[in-house]
Structure 1
Amino acid sequence: MSAYIHNLTQSLAPAPARDDTPNLQARFQAWFATVPEIARQRPWGMIEFERALGTQGRYISPVLLALGWRRKRKWETAGQYCRYWVPPA
């Protein structure tokens, strides 16, 4: 019974934290290189990055900031606002 409890406690222990940022950054750069040149210099929504890379925006955001992208918002008086990312100049 003690071996079972030992295995159970090991499976419940938190996994060691991994830093996937370099891997994600390389994946982003490889994906962005496949985007046609004319489409690269437009504002991008986070949902586009999430779908292309298959991960959440909270992991993509630090990669974009490290690569020089800027966050912007389009404010509207009639309610909600749009958030988007602008590539480096």
Structure 2
Amino acid sequence: MSAYLKQLQRSMTAGSPVRSPLRQQFLDWYRALPEVTRHRPFAMVEFEKALDTQGKYLSPVLLALGWQRKRRWNSRRQYHRYWEPPPPEG
């Protein structure tokens, strides 16, 4: 068991980047966007690619930050899902 623990310690100190919590990663990414592109609908695929994670992990973060899930329906009964940011503050 001690060999396993030593291996874990080595892998943690070997320079592997420590990722910040997903919420902070999202906020950093979103704040880095140009102002013009922040206040528009986003597809989940955009978030997944930007943050290199899956939507099932991002959804709770977005909901906690006040984002809303919406759907655009068309005449063929298909719909497109998107996320709408909360209204700008102040």
- State if a TM-score over 0.5 links the two structures: yes
* Inter-partner Cα distance in structure 2 for 1:46 and 1:27: 15
* Inter-partner Cα distance in structure 1 for 2:77 and 2:85: 26
Q: Within the alignment, does 1:62 sit opposite 2:60 as a pair?
A: yes
Which residue identity lines up with residue 53 of structure 1 in the other structure? L
**Which protein is bigger by CA-based radius of gyration?**
1
* Inter-partner Cα distance in structure 1 for 2:65 and 2:39: 14
Superposition deviation, residue 79 in structure 1 = 3.6
For structure 1, the residue ranges without an aligned partner over 5 or more in a row are 1-21
Residue in structure 1 matched with residue 14 of structure 2 by the alignment: none
For structure 2, the residue ranges without an aligned partner over 5 or more in a row are 1-19
Which residue identity lines up with residue 65 of structure 2 in the other structure? L
- Spell out the pairing of 1:24-43 with structure 2 (5 A cutoff): 24-43=22-41
What's the TM-score, normalizing by structure 2? 0.73
Superposition deviation, residue 77 in structure 1 = 1.6
Moved over 3 A (4+): none
Identity %: 56
Residue in structure 1 matched with residue 42 of structure 2 by the alignment: 44
* Inter-partner Cα distance in structure 1 for 2:69 and 2:77: 20
Superposition deviation, residue 78 in structure 1 = 1.5
Superposition deviation, residue 80 in structure 1 = 1.5
Which residue identity lines up with residue 49 of structure 1 in the other structure? F
